[in-house]
Amino acid sequence: MLDFFTIFSKGGLVLWCFQGVRGPAAACTAPVNALIRSVLLQEKGGSNSYTHEALTLKYKLDNQFELVFVVGFQKILTLTYVDKLIDDVHKEFRDKYRNEFQQNGTLGILNGTFDFQEDFLRLLRDAEESSKARAPIIMKTFEQSEKSKKTVKTLIETKGEKPKEKTKNKKNKGSKKEGEWVFQQATPKAPLVVKQDQPVAAGDKEEPSKDEILQKNREEFFRKHMKGGEKSNRSPKQDTQKDKGKKPRVWDAGNSNAKVLDYSNSTTNGNTDTCPMEEYDPDMVRWRRYLCFDSVGSLRSAKKGGLGGMFGMLKGLVGSKSLTRDDMEPVLEKMKDHLIAKNVAAEIAVQLCESVAKKLEGKVMGTFTTVTSTVKQALQESLVQILQPQRRVDVLRDVMEAQRHRRPYVITFCGVNGVGKSTNLAKISFWLIENKFSVLIAACDTFRAGAVEQLRTHTRRLNALHPPEHHSGRTMVQLYEKGYGKDAAGIAMEAISYARNQGFDVVLVDTAGRMQDNAPLMTALAKLIAVNAPDLVLFVGEALVGNEAVDQLVKFNKALADHSMAQSPRLIDGIVLTKFDTIDDKVGAAISMTYITSKPIVFVGTGQTYCDLRSLNAKAVVAALMKA
């Protein structure tokens, strides 16, 4: 049973809605809004299904009239007719109100009244009945099988006698195959004749289909003519007789022979190849025309196909038809390979191209635009939209908000080994100190040897750049550490309490690097986040990874959700992308990470000094990504 079915425009105006369960009229509002925020606005239209709490939503886009069709039902139900229903409703609604949309446009949507209840109920009944009316598959009886038609005689083999099939397939060198198609040489007076030998008995071999016959004709035609061309080119006699230039015509005043003056047959370089006549088989003429090199044949082909070629070119440029999947398939395939070459994860590249195809399918192209430019522009818009996800993280604004509540703002850094967590933590510390905020660094990496000493070195250098005398005797950065082998969650809790008592503005929690498959370390990270409830959880990843970025982020989020004891677990809030200066234009990791998490890239590391920290410019990244 359906919970609801709604039709609305891409501008957000609800045209018609059906509710299958009793409840408030706004019961379908939250699921549809979640679909719009998480799928349609984030360019994740590769799949037509979306799950929101206890509901499964399926949708279909109409790009010509900018409409969205959404159906919702309980996810525990298996409704096989939903896909058929949404296709039928889409077609019926379009056909019924097509003229209204085409004539009035947006005003037709705003002022129109859509009485679609009876039509929808009829389509719903038909879809439900069609799903029930499927007859069970009945197995064939022995009499209906091919085996029952064989006799005992065909199964007996005499010693020393070869099987019939082998002898039948074996042929003599000069003989021709049974059922072989024979081509006779075409002349200007006699049309091209195609003969076929008598077919074998009905029980021995099935008659070839029309397509098979046509394909066989073409293959044999090409084989004979290409062989003839090769032989004529290889003969030395022809090379000696062939003249490079055109022979001058000799006029003999005393010659009255009519044959000498008859130039009706076109000759070129001594060859008397004739062009195809109009009464020949059309398929043969079409293929023959490509093989005919005489002047008359090429002139006739040019006259016949020149106007059509011009109109075909204009038709490809002018927006006269809507885009189909077949039109976009070659372009999307090239775009997918281009994205993978630019370090986008293969799975993400496929989903992106599928989303663009759904977004453009049925859309009418603009005037003088090609399919390639249309698809490329749509892909660029999708990539920019992906890099500007739902939530925008403004660290400075959030720190000032925490200051007003007299508490420190806590940021936790996590990630795999060797991506630069401690180095970029020091860069963010320098950036916060430059903005007049005091920082406490919590050394919670109690596993890696030298981790505490590395942070102590960064603290000493940052204090040298911003000594206390430049800030009214206030120490701007300080390290809180308890050595190695201790509980990281306990150290982080003590550091936050110390920062609250001492009046620090920001606490930066450094954690140990861990692989996403290491269950004990992932449990410890989930415990640290659950116990201390930081304001911001940043995943530090390097820009060099490709498909591994998807695996890392998915498993980190899954581990945080699985090992957290809270009802609504805390997941990754943002991304720090490091080593961005080492990849040139292969910036695909930014797309992969943002697409898989729907979280923003907060900082980008671009070098080895404290100043090499940038915010992400979405348009610049997309321009580098689309550069050939």
Residue 578 has pLDDT above 50, yes or no: yes
User: How many C-beta neighbours within 10 Å does residue 60 have?
Assistant: 16
Distance, C-alpha 298 to centroid of its chain: 43
Residues 383, 524: Cα–Cα separation, whole Å: 35
- Please give the Cα distance from 113 to 100 (Å, whole number): 10
pLDDT at 97 over 90: no
Per the structure block, which two tokens stand in for 337? 């390979």
**Contact, 372 vs 330, CB < 8 A?**
no
pLDDT at 217 over 70: yes
Q: Please say if the pLDDT value at position 399 is more than 90.
A: yes
- Answer yes or no: is pLDDT of 462 > 70: yes
Is 362 in contact with 322 (CB distance < 8 Å)? Answer: yes
Residue 364 pLDDT: 78
Mean pLDDT score of the chain: 77
Decide if pLDDT at 457 tops 60: yes
pLDDT over 90 at 152, yes or no: no
The confidence score (pLDDT) of residue 209 equals 72
Of the two residues 98 and 170, the one the predictor is more confident about is: 98
What does residue 135 show for φ and ψ, rounded to 5 degrees? -75, 145
In the 8-state DSSP scheme, what is residue 567? Answer: S
3-state SS track over 96-129: HHHHHHHHHCHHHHHHCCCCCHHHHHHHHHHHHH
Q: Which amino acid is at 371?
A: V
The model's confidence at residue 301, banded by pLDDT at 50, 70 and 90, is very low
Amino acid found at 534: P
- Least Cα distance to 46 among 352, 340, 387, 377 occurs for 352
Is the pLDDT confidence value at 117 over 90?
no
According to the model, what pLDDT value does residue 115 have? 83
Residue 459 has pLDDT above 80, yes or no: yes
pLDDT > 80? residue 480:
yes
pLDDT recorded at residue 128: 85
Q: Which residues contact 317 (CB under 8 A, 6 or more apart)?
A: 367, 368, 369, 370
H/E stretch holding 538 reads strand 536-542
The predicted pLDDT at position 304 comes to 43
State pLDDT tens for residues 68-85.
999 998 888 888 888 889
**Cα–Cα separations (whole angstroms), residue 520 to 186, 529, 560, 563:** 82, 15, 12, 10
Count Cβ atoms below 10 Å from residue 345 Cβ, excluding itself.
Answer: 24
pLDDT of residue 3: 87
Comparing 139-153, 302-316, 419-433, the range with the smallest average pLDDT is 302-316
Per-residue confidence (pLDDT) for residue 166, from 0 to 100: 45
Q: What is the pLDDT of residue 40?
A: 81
Task: For residues 144-160, give the mean pLDDT.
Answer: 70
Contacting residues for 524 by C-beta, under 8 A, at least 6 apart: 488, 489
Q: What is the pLDDT of residue 153?
A: 67
Lowest-confidence range among 50-64, 133-147, 573-587?
A: 133-147
Q: For a pLDDT cut of 70, what percent of the chain falls above it?
A: 72
Give the strands of the sheet with 67-74, arranged side by side. Answer: 14-19, 2-9, 67-74, 55-62, 49-52
Amino acid letter at 320? S
Q: Any residues with CB less than 8 A from the CB of 380 and at least 6 apart, and which?
A: 622, 626
Angle at 460 between CA 457 and CA 464, to 5 degrees: 140
- Of 504 and 226, more confident: 504
Strands 439-443, 181-183: pairing is unpaired
Query: Which residue has 């200066």 as its token pair?
Result: 581
Q: Provide the angle, in degrees to the nearest 10, between the axes of the packed helices 346-360 and 371-386.
A: 120
| pLDDT of the residue at 550 | 80
Tokens 């896909």 belong to which residue? 83
Query: Residue 610: pLDDT band by 50, 70, 90 thresholds?
Result: very high
| Mean pLDDT value across residues 387-394 | 78
For residue 491, the model assigns a pLDDT of 93
pLDDT over 90 (residue 391):
no
Residues, the chain: 628
| Residue 300 reports pLDDT greater than 70 | no
Contact 564, 590 (CB under 8 A): no
What is d(CA 573, CA 540) in angstroms, rounded to the nearest whole number? 11
Give the pLDDT of residue 207: 64
Q: What angle do CA 344, 345, 350 make, to 5 degrees?
A: 95
- For 391-426, the three-class secondary structure string (H helix, E strand, C coil) is CCCCHHHHHHHHHHCCCCEEEEEEECCCCCHHHHHH
- pLDDT reported for residue 198: 47
pLDDT for the residue 246 = 61
Strands 194-196 and 181-183: antiparallel
Chain Cα centroid distance, residue 172: 53
Per-residue pLDDT of 4-40, as tens digits, reads 899 988 888 888 888 887 777 667 888 888 888 888 8
Q: Summarize pLDDT for 482-515 with one digit per residue, the tens.
A: 888 888 999 999 999 999 999 999 999 999 888 8
Residue 413 binned pLDDT confidence (cut-offs 50, 70, 90): very high
DSSP designation for 208: P
Whether 233 shows a pLDDT value over 80: the answer reads: no
Question: How many angstroms separate the CA atoms of 120 and 23, rounded?
Answer: 20
Note the pLDDT of residue 163: 52
Query: What is the bridge-based pairing of β-strands 601-605 and 613-614?
Result: antiparallel
What pLDDT was estimated at residue 583?
82
pTM of the model: 0.60
pLDDT digits (tens, 9 = 90+) for 335-349: 999 999 988 888 889
Higher pLDDT, 388 or 310: 388
The sign of the torsion formed by the CA atoms of 294, 300, 301, 307 equals positive
On the question of pLDDT at 573 being above 70, the answer is yes
Distance of CA 160 to the CA centre of its chain: 60
- Above 60 in pLDDT, residue 323? yes
pLDDT at residue 414, rounded to an integer: 92
Residue 26's pLDDT is 66
- What are the tens digits of pLDDT across the range 252-298? 555 555 555 555 554 444 444 444 444 444 444 443 433 333 333 33
Query: Could you tell me whether strands 601-605 and 574-578 are parallel, antiparallel, or unpaired per DSSP bridges?
Result: parallel
SS3 586: coil
595 burial type by CB count under 10 A (0-12 exposed, 13-18 middle, 19+ buried): buried
Q: Which two tokens stand for residue 201?
A: 């008995």
Instruction: Inform me whether the pLDDT recorded for 58 exceeds 80.
Output: yes
